[in-house]
Structure 1
Amino acid sequence: MTKVRFNSQVKQQVDRLLSEMTLAQKVGQMTQAERSTCTPDDVYAFHLGSVLSGAGSCPKNNLVDDWVEMCDAYWHASVRKDDAHLGIPIMYGVDAVHGNSNVKDAVIFPHNIGLGATNDFSLIKDIAAATAKEVLAIGVDWVFSPNLAVASDYRWGRTYESFSQDPKQVSKFAQAMVEGLQDNFSDNGVLACVKHWIGDGGTQNGIDQGDTVLDWEQLNNIHIYPYYAALDAGAMSVMVSFSSWNGEKCHAHKYLISDVLKGQMRYQGLVLSDMQGIDYLADDFYQAVARGVNAGIDMFMLPGNWKQFIDHLINHVELGTVPISRIDDAVRRILSVKVATGIMDKPAPSARPYTRSKMFGARKHRQLACSSVQKSLVLLKNEHELLPLSKQQKIVVTGKNAHCIGSQCGGFTVTWQGSRGNHDVNGATSIWQGIDQLADNAQLIGESDLLAVKQGEFDVAVVVIGELPYAEGLGDIRDNEDAIVASGLQIQGQMSITDVTAKSLALQNMHPEDLSTISTLHDKGIPVVTVLISGRPLLIEAEMERSQAFIAAWLPGSEGQGIANVLFGDAPVTGKLSFSWPHTPSPDVDPLKPKRKSKSDTVSSSKFPVGYGLRYKKRGFFKSAS
C-alpha cells in the first residue's frame, strides 16, 4: 500500500551495515532510552538507536540552547567510531502533538479535536510544517505524532487527541499532518510517528489502555482505515497501542503487527512500542521482552529498564527463544528509516539549517496558531444574535479559565499533565488578555467577587469555564468502577489503573463552580456568553440554558487572541462539530457512547450532530448600557 521509499541504494547501505554488526550492536539499535536515565556515554557504550524525552522531560532550563546542547552530546556519542562501534547516529524523539509543546517558548496549537472542527486540511498541513520547524530548532528529528485514534466514547481521557469520530475525516487529517511534518524528508521536515496501532479510541467504557471489542471488519473499517492514508503519505514509524483487541494486548499481537501491518499493508518502516508498553505483557519482564519482539515490534521505548531489556533480549537470542531473523528484520527497518530519511548523513544537530532558527516561537507561527483557533471555534447557541460583541460594550470577563493559559493548552504542554496558571508557556496570550487588547470597557472579575456586581452595571458577561488540564488515563471519566474490573478480566496481561478526572460527563457535576458563576450573572439580568474549554463534548444542558450564547473552544493553545477576535467579529465563526454533542442522560438514551451516523439515519443520542455550527448573521451591535 505504501510508496516505495527504500530503494536499492538504501538496501545496499543497510546490508553492508548489518553484515558488520554484532548482536550487541543490533540489540542496541532496537533500544530507545529516556534521557533522564541515559547519558551520552551510555549511548556510545550500548550502541543505542534512539533517545527520547518523555512528556515533561527536558534539559536544564528548558530553553532552545539547552536542547541543542543535549542533542549534540547524544549525537556525537552515537557517531563515535572505533573497532567496536560503527558510529550509527541516533534519532531523538519527542511528543509534539500540538506544536513543539515540550519547550516553554514554543507556539502551542489547538489540540486535534479543535483542528478537526476547522475541516481545513491545508491549514493542518501548514500547522504540521510550522511544528516541524519548531522541533528542528531544538535539534530534534523525530516526533510521536499524529494520533490517528477514532474516539468513540467521550469518557476516554485522550478524546482531545482525536480529530473526528469519522474515520474518513481522520484519514484526511492524517495525510495532511504526515506530509506537513515530513516535507518529503527535506531539511524542513522531521520524521512523523503515527499512533496508536490499533483501536485505542474504541475501548469499552472509554477506558484508557482498555479493550476494544470489535470484529475484524469493524476494526478495519473504523480504526485501521486512517492508517492507509498515513502510510501512503510516507509515514515511516508507527507506535503500538497500550490497548487490547478482543482481550489480546496490541503490544503482543503478532497478527496485527506482523501479519496485517507489515504483511497485508506492506509497511516497510519501523514499529515502535509505547512507553513501557511491553512491561504489561507478562508478570515476568523477561517473558514480556520475548513476547513484544516476537510480535513484531522493532524499537522499544523504555524509560528506566532499558539495560535490563538489552540483557534479556541478548539472552533470548542466544537461547533461541527469539530468532536472529526477527532481530535482523527489526534492525533492517530501523536502519532503512535512518538512511532513507537522511538521518545517517546529517551533521550534528547544532550544524543543521533550522537549529536555533528564528522561526521558533515566531510571530508568523503565532499568527497561524491564532487563525487555527478562530477556525476551530464552534458556535452552539446565539440567542437574539448576542454575538458578535461590540468593543464599546461594558463587559465583565470571568470564569476560572478566563485568564489561565495552562487550561487553554491542556495536557502534553511542557509537562505530561499540563498545568494551571500562566507560568509554563512563555509568549502566550490568555483569553482575557485577548479581550483586553480589543475592548477598553472590559473588566476581569474573579468569581468570588461577582456577588458585588450590580444589575445593569455591565452590558454582557463573557464566562470562560470548563475542564482543567489532563492527559491519558488520568483524564478518563469513570462513572462505574465495575467497568475496570470487567475489562481487566478480559485482557490477557496487566492493566495500569490510575486516578481519573471525574465520575460524570456532566459539567455541573464535574465542575459545579462553573454553573454557579453563570447563574450568578444570569440572575442579575446580564446576558452571558459562555466559552467552554474542554477536551471533549460534555453534558452542558444547565449551563447552556442560562447562557444566551455558547461557544465550544476546545483546547485552543497559546493564542487566546483568536477567541477574542471571534467574540468581537474581527474574524468569522466557521467551526463545525467533528463529533456529535451528547444529550443529558435519560433512561432510554446513553449519550456516553455516541452512535456512528450512517447515510440513512441520524444520531438519535446527539444534541448537536456532526457538522453543526452556527454562523453570525449580523455585524451590528447592541446599545451600550447607560
Structure 2
Amino acid sequence: MKRISHLTGTIAGMACSMALAAFLTPTTLLATPTGSAPESAANVHPEQWPRIAWPKVVTDADEAKIAALLQQMDAACKVGQVIQGDIASLTPEDVARYNLGSVLNGGNSGPYGNDLAPPRDWLKLADAFYTASVRGRPGCPGIPAIWGTDAVHGHSNIIGATLFPHNVGLGAMRDPDLIEKIGAATAAEIRVTGQEWTFAPTVTVPQDYRWGRAYEGYSSDPALVASYVGRMVRGLQGPPTTDRVLAGPHVIASTKHFIADGGTTDGHDQGDAEIDETTLRLVHGAPYLPAIENGVATVMTSFSSWNGVKIAGNKGLVTDVLKDRLGFGGFVVTDWNAHGQIAGCTNASCPQALLAGVDMYMAPDSWKPLYQSLLKQVQNGTVPMDRLDDAVARILRVKARLGMFEMGAPSTRPLAGQWNLLGSPEHRAIAREAVRKSLVLLKNTGVLPLKQGARLLVAGDGADDVARQSGGWTITWQGTGLTRDQFPGATTLWEGLKSAAEASGGSAELAADGRFKQKPDAAVVVFGETPYAEFQGDIRSLQLRSDLTGPLATMKALKAQGIPVVAVMLTGRPLFVNPELNAADAFVVAWLPGSEGEGVADVLYAKDGADFTGRLPTAWPRTARHGDDPLFAYGYGLAMAQGATPWTALPEDPGVAAEAVPGVYLQRGQAQTGWSLVLTDPYAAPHVVGPVPAATPGGRIAITAIDKDVQEGARRIVVGKGPEPVTIALEAASPRDLSRETNGDVLLLVTMKLDARPGAPVTVAARCGNGPCGAPVALPELAALPIGEWTTLAVPLKCLLPAGSASNAVSSPLVLATRGPLSFGLASVTLGTKGDIVAGCKASAK
C-alpha cells in the first residue's frame, strides 16, 4: 500500500469534521470484509465507507413537479436530458430538436466559433440556448438546458475575467476563508455571462506530480484538500438550502474527478489507480465527504480506472458508494467522451455508463449518434426505464434547485450583463491576496526583502507574460497561443515589480536575458514551466524540460558580477531545481499566480509588512526521481522575519536523464530521438534521412538544409514529378498511443514554407502498425499556403485517426503523399492546439 501521510492534519472549519475524523481512523483503515471469498481488486465494499447526510435542497413541491414532468416526457425527451453536447458541435436548434439537457464549452470552444469571443457574445448565446430549450413539443415539455464551463481558476475562459492562482498555489496558503471568497467571486463573474454551472472544484489528491493535472489539486494531503472543498462549494453555490441558487449570485458546482484521478500509476493522465480500497477511501475519497455535506450539485467521474475498471463504468463506485452509501443526491456527469473508454463502449454507444450510475453523458461531438443509440437501447430494454427515470429526475432536481423553471432567460437574471464585475477591483483584490499568501520561500541568505530605493533588474523568460504565469485552462484549453492584449486589467510579475520599485523611490529595468544597461543592486529572475493542461503536461521525471533551463545561466552570470539574485519559479508542481537553488540568493515558488502579478511584488518588497506565509502543499523533491526522499518536507516554508538562513550547496545531479519536450517529433528540421524522417519512392528503397544533403535512389526526392531561426534550422524537400506517389513520413521507433490526444481534439502541427504551388494533389495520412489508420485526407490547404512564408498547417488527429482505428498504436502520425512536383521547407512537426491554417477532414478522391 502506498504511504499515507498527514492524516492527522487539522480540518478547520469543516462542517463534517466529525464524520471525516471517523473516516480517517485506524479502525476504518484496517477494516476488512469477513467471510468473503477472494475478490477482484476492483470490487468495492460500500459498508466500509461512511454515511453522509445529504441536505434538503429541493422542496416537496419541487418533487411533485418533477414527478409530473416525468409523466409528460416520452422516451426521446428523457434521453435528450441525459446528454450534453459542446457548443462547437451543436446549435440552439439542435438543443430544441433533441431536447438536450445541457451544453458545455470545451477548453477551445467559444460562442459562434470564436473561443476569444467578447463577454457579450457568451451571454447572447446563453439566451439562444435557453430559448430553444424551453420550446417544447408534444411528449416533451420545455425544460431549460444548463450550460457548464471550466471556470477552474476564475471564469477563466473569458477575456477580462479575474484569474486566481491555480489550486496548487491555493493549497500553499492554508486559508479556507479565502477559498470561499474566491468561489463567490468566481460564481459572480460566471453569472455575468449567463452560465449556470462550473466544472469545479477539482478535489483530486495528487500522489505523483509527474501527472499533468497535478496543479489542479490543492495538495497531496487529503486532510488539507478536504478542509477546502466544503468552503469552495459554499462560495460557488451558496449554503445548501431550498433557496434558488440563481436568485443569488451563485452557480452550481461539480467536484471532480471521482475518484483517484490523482492516484494513477506513474502519474499517467487517464491511467489506472492500482491501489487498494483502503487507500482509495482514505486518501482519494476524503474530499467528497465535505462536498456532499455541503450539497455539491454534481460530481464528474474520472477518465481514469481503478484496478483496471474505468470509473464511469464502475457501478460499485458510482452507484453503490457515491449515491447509495455516501448519500450524494445530485447528478453524476462523465468527462469529455470518457464513456467511450469503458470496456465494450464507443463514443457513439455506451449503455454501460448509464447502467453504472452515470446520469449525464458529456458527449461533446458525439452527442447525436449517442442520442440515437441510447434511444434504441431504452426502447429495446437494454436500459431499463426506471434507471433512465432516476437519471432524469436527478437532473431535474438540480434544475429546480437552480431555479431554471422560473428564473427566465440568462440575460434577465441577477448580475447578467454587469460587465464591470468581470475583473472588478474587489475580485482582483481577492486574487492579489491569494497570490501573496500562496508564495513559498525556500531559501533566503539575506537578499529579501528587496531594499527600498534600490535599482532592480527583472530577468527571465517568464517575467512579463500573463499567460505564462496563469498556466493551462486560461482562455484556451492549454493556455497557449495568447497575447498580452487578451488580458485587460491583468498585471505581469514585471509590471508589479516595476511599480513597487518605483513606489519605493527606486527603479526597475526589464531584460529577459539579464543584460542590463545599468548595474542593478539586485535581480529577480523569473523562470519555470510553460502552460499545459491534462495529458499534455504528463512528464517522465520531476524536472524542467531542457528548453526551459536557460535562465539558470542568467542567474550564474549575474552572480558572477556580484549581483544578488532572487529566483522566482512559475510552476504547477514541485520539481528538481537544485542548480537554481544553489545559484540564487533567495528562491521563491510562485506556482501559477494568475492575473494579479503585483501580489508577488507585495511580498518581495514587504509592502505594508507583508511576509511569506505560504507552506508547501506537498513535498519538494531532492532528485528528479519520483519516490526519492524529499529535499523539503510537506509544510516547509521560510519567512523573511527569520532573517538570513544558512545554505549548504546541494548535489546537482537529477539522477535521471534530461526531460524531453513531449509531442515534438521533428524540430529544426531534424527527427527527434525515437523518430525517423523517411523518404520513399515506390521504385527505390526507402531513405531514412540522416546527414544532408541526401536523396532517394534515382534522385526523385532530394533533401537539403536551409536556415530558419538558426543556421540550418530547417530542411528543404524537393519532389520530382512521377507516375506514382512518393511519401514523406515521420516514423516512430515503437508504436505511440495517441488515443488521449485524439479524443482531446489535439492537432498535428506542421511548420512549413511552400516554395511554389504543388503540381499535383497532396494527401496526408497516418499509419497504425503496418497499415493505414484511415483513409488519406486531401490537403488543398497546403496548396493554398502563402508562397515563401513559414506557416503552421494544423491537421486534426481525428482526421487521421478516425473512430475504430488503432489510435493506441500509431507507427507514423504523418505520411505526406504526392506525385509531384513539390518543393517546400520543413521546420517542425509537433502536437498542439493552435495552427495558422486548419485542414479539413475530407477524404482524398480515389
Structure-1-length-normalised TM-score:
0.89
The residue that corresponds to 1:20 in the other structure is: 72
1:124 maps onto 2:179 in alignment: yes
Distance 1:400-1:436 versus aligned 2 partners, 3 A rule: same
* Offset, 1:318: 1.8
* 1:129–1:181 contact (8 Å) kept in structure 2: yes
Give the direction of change, closer, same or farther, for the CA distance of 1:508–1:5 in structure 2 (3 Å limit).
Answer: closer
Query: Which residue number in structure 2 is paired with residue 405 of structure 1?
Result: 466
Task: Could you tell me which runs of 5 or more consecutive residues in structure 2 were left unpaired when the two chains were aligned.
Answer: 1-51, 240-244, 645-846
Instruction: Tell me whether 1:368 sits opposite 2:430 in the alignment.
Output: yes
Aligned twin of 1:600: none
Paired residue for 2:105? 53
Per-residue CA deviation, residues 191-243 of structure 1 (Å, 9 max, x unaligned), is 00110010000101000000101111110000011101111011010000000
Alignment of 1:372-451 (within 5 A): 372-383=434-445, 385-419=446-480, 421-440=483-502, 441-448=506-513, 450-451=514-515
- Aligned-pair distance for 1:324? 1.3
Structure 1 residues 275 and 381: CA distance shift in structure 2, 3 A: same
Q: CA deviation at 1:517?
A: 1.8
| 1:270 corresponds to | 331
**2:239 equivalent to 1:177:** no
Deviation for aligned residue 1:288: 4.8
Aligned partner (choices 208, 229, 232) of residue 293 of structure 2: 232
Q: Is the 8 A contact 2:55 2:293 kept in 1?
A: yes
Report the secondary structure of 2:190's partner residue: helix
Q: Which amino acid aligns with 1:583?
A: R
Cα distance between partner residues in 1 of 2:282 and 2:58: 28
The answer to whether the aligner puts 1:468 opposite 2:547 as a matched pair is no
Q: Does 1:312 align with 2:346?
A: no
- Pairing of 1:510-521 with structure 2 (within 5 A): 511-521=548-558
Q: Judging changes above 3 Å, is the alpha-carbon distance between structure 1 residues 286 and 505 closer, same or farther for their aligned structure 2 residues?
A: closer
Instruction: Give the counterpart of 1:614 among 638, 641, 653.
Output: 638
> Is the counterpart of residue 522 in structure 1 residue 564 in structure 2?
no
Q: Deviations over 1:479-509 (max 9, x none)?
A: xxxxxxxxxxxxxxxxxxxxxxxxx322374
2:81 is aligned with 1:44: no
2:585 corresponds to which residue? 548
Q: In 2 relative to 1, CA 286–549 (structure 1 residues): closer, same or farther, beyond 3 Å?
A: closer
Where do residues 475-490 of structure 1 align in structure 2 (5 Å cutoff)?
Answer: 475-478=537-540
Within the candidate set 274, 279, 284, 2:340 is matched to 279
> CA separation of 1:285/1:377 partners in 2, compared to 1, >3 Å: closer, same or farther?
same
Inter-partner Cα distance in structure 2 for 1:206 and 1:264:
29
The whole-number CA distance in structure 2 between the counterparts of 1:360 and 1:619 is 40
1:561 aligns with 2:598: yes
User: Is the 1:532–1:551 contact (alpha carbons within 8 Å) kept by the matching residues of 2?
Assistant: yes
CA-based RMSD of the aligned residues comes to 1.8
SS at match of 2:104: strand
C-alpha deviation, 1:282, in angstroms: 4.2
Q: 1 CA distance for matches of 2:631 and 2:416?
A: 48
1-structure distance, mates of 2:327, 2:606 = 49
Equivalent position of 1:350 in the other structure: 411
Pick one of 91, 112, 133 that aligns with 2:167.
112
Equivalence for 1:577:
616
Query: Retained in 1: the 8 A contact 2:254–2:300?
Result: yes
Give the structure 2 partner of residue 486 of structure 1. none
Moved more, 290-299 or 611-620: 611-620
Question: Paired residue for 1:328?
Answer: 389
Aligned residue in 2 for 1:137: 192
CA drift at 1:337: 1.0
Query: Residues of 2 paired with 1:86 and 1:329: CA distance?
Result: 18
Residue 33 of structure 1 is matched in structure 2 by 85
**Structure with higher RCO (Cα < 8 A, 6+ apart):** 1
Task: Give the alignment partner of residue 312 of structure 2, picking from 234, 247, 251.
Answer: 251
Counterpart Cα distance in 1 of 2:137 and 2:377: 27
1:26–1:331 Cα contact (<8 Å) kept: yes
SS of 1:17 mapped into structure 2: helix
Aligned AA for 2:632?
Answer: F
Percent identity, aligned pairs only, is 42
Instruction: Give the Cα separation in 2 of the matches to 1:475 and 1:517.
Output: 26
User: What SS does the corresponding residue of 1:33 show, helix, strand or coil?
Assistant: strand
8 Å CA contact 1:414, 1:425 repeated in 2: no
Residue 529 of structure 1 aligns to a residue in which SS? strand
One-letter code aligned to 2:433: S
Distance 1:137 1:452, change over 3 A: closer
Instruction: Decide whether aligned partners of structure 1 residues 286 and 181 sit closer, same or farther in structure 2, where only a CA change above 3 A counts.
Output: closer
Please show how residues 54-203 of structure 1 align to structure 2 within 5 Å: 54-59=106-111, 60=114, 62-184=117-239, 185=245, 186-203=247-264
Cα distance in 2 between the residues matched to 1:508 and 1:42? 44
Contact 2:107 2:157 in 1 (8 A): yes
Q: Which has the higher helix share?
A: 1
* Counterpart residue type for residue 617 of structure 1: A
Give the letter aligned to residue 606 of structure 1. Answer: P
Q: Which residue does 2:521 correspond to in 1?
A: 459
Cα offset for 1:85? 3.6
Instruction: Tell me if the contact between 1:237 and 1:270 (Cα under 8 Å) persists in the aligned partners.
Output: yes
Please tell me the residue identity of whatever aligns with 1:577.
L
Partner SS, residue 433 of structure 1 = helix
1:157 to 1:255, Cα distance in 2 relative to 1, 3 A: same
Distance 1:508 1:228 in 2: 38
User: Between Structure 1 and Structure 2, how many residues are aligned?
Assistant: 576
Contact 1:286 1:312 in 2 (8 A): no
Mapped to 2, the partners of 1:160 and 1:439 lie a distance apart of 31
Distance in 2 (CA, whole Å) between partners of 1:16 and 1:227 is 32
Q: Which amino acid aligns with 2:133?
A: S
What amino acid sits opposite 2:404 in the alignment?
I
Give the structure with higher Rg (CA): 2
1:422: how far off? 2.2
* Separation in 2, partners of 1:617, 1:157: 35
Question: CA offsets, 1:100-154, max 9 Å, x none?
Answer: 0000110100000000111010001000000000000001110000000000111
Query: Within 2, Cα distance between the matches of 1:84 and 1:317?
Result: 16
Shift of 1:81: 3.6
In the TM superposition, what whole-angstrom CA distance separates every residue of 1:539-571 from its partner, at most 9, and x where no partner exists? 011100010000000000000010011111102
User: Structure 2 matches for 1:215-230, cutoff 5 A?
Assistant: 215-230=276-291
Answer with 414-423 or 228-237: which moved more: 414-423
Q: Is the 8 A contact 1:416 1:471 kept in 2?
A: yes
2: CA distance, partners of 1:63 / 1:144? 21
Q: For residue 613 of structure 1, what is the amino acid of its counterpart? A: G
The residue matched to 2:435 in structure 1 has which SS? helix
Query: 1:427 Cα deviation (Å)?
Result: 1.4
Distance 2:465 2:279 in 1: 41
How many Å apart are 1:572 and its aligned residue?
Answer: 2.1
1:329-355 superposed Cα distances (whole Å, 9 cap, x missing partner)? 110110111112322221111111110
Classify 1:582/1:618 alpha carbon distance in 2 versus 1 (closer, same or farther; 3 Å).
Answer: closer
Name the structure 1 match of 2:684.
Answer: none
